[in-house]
């Protein structure tokens, strides 16, 4: 098994991995590492598969973000799971360490986001701007950990950089996220972690809950 490939769940249809920081899920050049390549290598070695391994990317997180990522081991599972994600039928909970305590300590955020292509980031815009996408999430403060605040975020939509930009817009910058204005450094990547996923198993059609342990360098609760 690749050294830092932590398997959270595996059967004939699914593979769920706890992604480390500073590693792209996929979509990088042939000479760069990715989580998808490491997962393929793991399956190929474990099952002594000749040739290429099928592994569909169902969910992904930013390279700087850690936590649960879902792969499908069959095309049927990939299609069914992708539909769940498209229809927002998946429970997605993230944990974030932010620089300032949210005020109020729990609530909902609704914004409209647009890609800023030249700077490769997202920005908040008015809902009337062409191409703007609605972004919704709810949050609650869990506890204070040193100078940072641990916040739980439940995604209602799945926009690019959504949590990072929505929290930063309110002054609750994710530690290490310099792209969106954070001033506090973080040991690896940024302090955003895909903590919990709840999906409908694509074959058994029963709820499957995945919880991803935090990296060891996060402050202990």
Q: Are 108 and 144 within 8 A, CB to CB?
A: no
Place of tokens 């069914």: 80
Under the banding of pLDDT at 50, 70 and 90, the label for residue 138 is very high
pTM over 0.85: yes
Give whole-number Cα distances, 160 to 105, 112, 133, 150, 152, in Å: 24, 12, 10, 22, 18
β-bridge mates for residue 102, sequence order: none
The CA angle 201-49-59, to the nearest 5 degrees, is 35
Count Cα atoms within 13 angstroms, Cβ side, for 84.
23
**Rg of the chain over CA atoms, in angstroms?**
18
In tens, the pLDDT along 59-117 reads 889 999 999 999 999 999 999 999 999 888 899 999 999 999 999 999 999 999 999 98
Identify the active-site residue in 22, 62, 103, 116: 62
62 is catalytic: yes
Mean pLDDT within 29-36: 84
Under the banding of pLDDT at 50, 70 and 90, the label for residue 181 is very high
Residue 162 parent element (H or E): helix 162-169
Structural domains in the chain, sorted by start? 6-211 (3.30.2350.10)
Tell me the backbone φ, ψ of residue 194, rounded to 5 degrees.
Answer: -75, 95
Give whole-number Cα distances, 109 to 71, 115, 197, in Å: 29, 19, 20
Cα–Cα distance for residue pair 13/185, rounded to 1 Å: 39
Cα–Cα distance for residue pair 68/82, rounded to 1 Å: 15
* Exposure letters 76-92 (e unless 16+ CB within 10 A, then b): ebbebbbebbeeeebeb
Cα–Cα distance for residue pair 132/126, rounded to 1 Å: 8
């Amino acid at each position: 098994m690749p050294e830092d490939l932590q398997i959270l769940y595996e059967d004939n249809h699914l593979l769920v991995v706890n992604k480390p920081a500073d590693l792209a899920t996929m979509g990088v050049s042939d000479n760069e590492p990715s989580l998808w390549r490491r997962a393929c290598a793991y399956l190929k070695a474990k099952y002594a598969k000749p040739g290429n391994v099928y592994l569909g990317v169902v969910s992904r997180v930013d390279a700087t973000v850690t936590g649960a990522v879902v792969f499908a081991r069959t095309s049927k599972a990939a299609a069914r799971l992708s539909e769940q994600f498209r229809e927002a039928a998946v429970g997605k909970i993230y944990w974030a360490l932010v620089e300032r305590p949210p005020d109020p300590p729990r609530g909902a955020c609704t914004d409209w986001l647009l890609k800023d292509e030249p700077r490769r980031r997202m920005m908040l815009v008015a809902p009337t701007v062409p191409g703007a996408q609605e972004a919704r999430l709810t949050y609650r403060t869990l506890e204070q950990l040193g100078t940072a605040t641990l916040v739980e975020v439940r995604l209602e939509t799945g926009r690019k950089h959504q949590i990072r930009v929505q929290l930063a817009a309110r002054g609750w910058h994710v530690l290490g996220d310099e792209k969106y204005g954070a001033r506090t450094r973080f040991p690896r990547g940024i302090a955003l972690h895909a903590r919990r996923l709840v999906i409908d198993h694509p074959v058994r059609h029963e709820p499957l809950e995945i919880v991803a342990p935090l990296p060891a360098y996060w402050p202990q609760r």
